[in-house]
Amino acid sequence: MRVLVLAGGLSYEREVSLRSGRRILDALLSAGVDAAMRDVDASLLPVIDIEAPDAIIIALHGSAGEDGSLQGILELASAPYVGAGARSARLAWDKPSAKAVLGGAGIDTPDWVTLPHERFTELGAKAVLDRVVTRLGLPLMVKPAQGGSGLGATVVRAAADLPAAMVACFAYHSTALVESYIEGADIAVTVVDLGEGPIALPAVEIVARDGVYDYAARYTSGLTTWHTPARLSDGVAAAAAKVALEAHTALGLGDLSRIDMIVAADGTPYVLEASVAPGMTDTSLVPMALSAAGLDLGQTMAVLAERAAARRR
């Protein structure tokens, strides 16, 4: 079997993607899999036509690999790939759409409103933001409707700070998702399907040293403490695992996903978002979860690649 890992791409998460791709590649090679890595550019489709890899692993973060478009193009090229299909990836990528689906499936997610920047121009920023604060209260989480790695995300604790947070968010995307900010334990649950249906791996709990899990905290060793498994009671851990599987299923995801949640003080897990091409760097959550579950990254990715190849056959 020959596997092609796609990494890089033209998104803000390019550097992270290259690190993820390199880690997956090394793990595959260590597991004895014939694998190569390449960036996404004009030579990609001709290369896929000529080399016809048995499976493609998408380690592209941000829109380049998570908005479903690349998945759709690979489907057009009849190239088998690991992970969610184009439509499901697109759904998960757009956070408000994903939250709507999750809410419809009875899964708890923080109360929210979606605000394209044009609405503020039309209706006046103050009038809109006043209602946001009245309706959702404080604190709030402001983040781009699409995107990852904490880029453009701000926790707003005072109404006066909301306009600046909106502008910072709109620098990354034209639509903002404003959510009630729920205080609690930040956890991420990896869901993987190795052939016998999706299973939830041990949750990883994230404790950022400075309280904010921003870009620096995510990718600088030493700034964040990760607890695997998360410091949850057995009952809450089981509830979180169940919710993660429900979210994975409700969104139609496949092979591998990471469901980010916050566990409120009363033990209720709230789903924040789902990632279809989760980070695989040295400080990423999925490799930690795999390790806690006793699974080898290379062998796991090899099994997922085999499954993708088999789907074509």
Interface residues with another protein (CB under 8 A)?
A: 10-16, 18, 117, 120-121, 125-126, 149, 151-152, 163-164, 166-168, 170-172, 207, 214-216, 219-229, 231, 282-283
Q: How far is the CB of 98 from another protein (least distance, A)?
A: 22
- The candidate with the shortest Cα–Cα distance to 257, out of 247, 243, 268, is 247
Report the residue number, 16 or 98, with the smaller CB distance to another protein: 16
Report d(CA 277, CA 190) in Å as an integer.
11
- Per-residue CA distances from 11 to 50, 79, 310 (Å): 26, 23, 31
Q: For residue 203, what is the DSSP state?
A: P
Q: How far is the CB of 295 from another protein (least distance, A)?
A: 17
Report the residue number, 113 or 125, with the smaller CB distance to another protein: 125
Q: How far is the CB of 17 from another protein (least distance, A)?
A: 9
Number of Cβ within 10 Å of residue 90's Cβ equals 19
Report the residue number, 13 or 66, with the smaller CB distance to another protein: 13
Both tokens assigned to 36? 């190569």
Report the residue number, 251 or 285, with the smaller CB distance to another protein: 285
Q: How far is the CB of 39 from another protein (least distance, A)?
A: 9
Contact (CB, 8 A) for 285 and 194: no
Q: How far is CA 66 from the centre of its chain?
A: 8
- One-letter amino acid at 178 equals V
What is the strand order of the sheet 140-144 is part of? 112-116, 175-180, 140-144, 154-156
Beta carbons within 8 Å of 24's beta carbon, 6+ residues apart: 5, 7, 37, 57, 59, 280, 297, 301
Q: How far is the CB of 86 from another protein (least distance, A)?
A: 23
Report the residue number, 30 or 220, with the smaller CB distance to another protein: 220
Report the residue number, 76 or 164, with the smaller CB distance to another protein: 164
Q: How far is the CB of 18 from another protein (least distance, A)?
A: 7
- The candidate with the shortest Cα–Cα distance to 300, out of 228, 194, 190, is 194
Report d(CA 272, CA 278) in Å as an integer.
14
Report the residue number, 47 or 168, with the smaller CB distance to another protein: 168
Report the residue number, 10 or 238, with the smaller CB distance to another protein: 10
Report d(CA 224, CA 216) in Å as an integer.
9
Any idea which residue has 């600088």 for tokens? Answer: 220
Q: How far is the CB of 296 from another protein (least distance, A)?
A: 18
Q: How far is the CB of 153 from another protein (least distance, A)?
A: 11
Contact (CB, 8 A) for 58 and 68: no
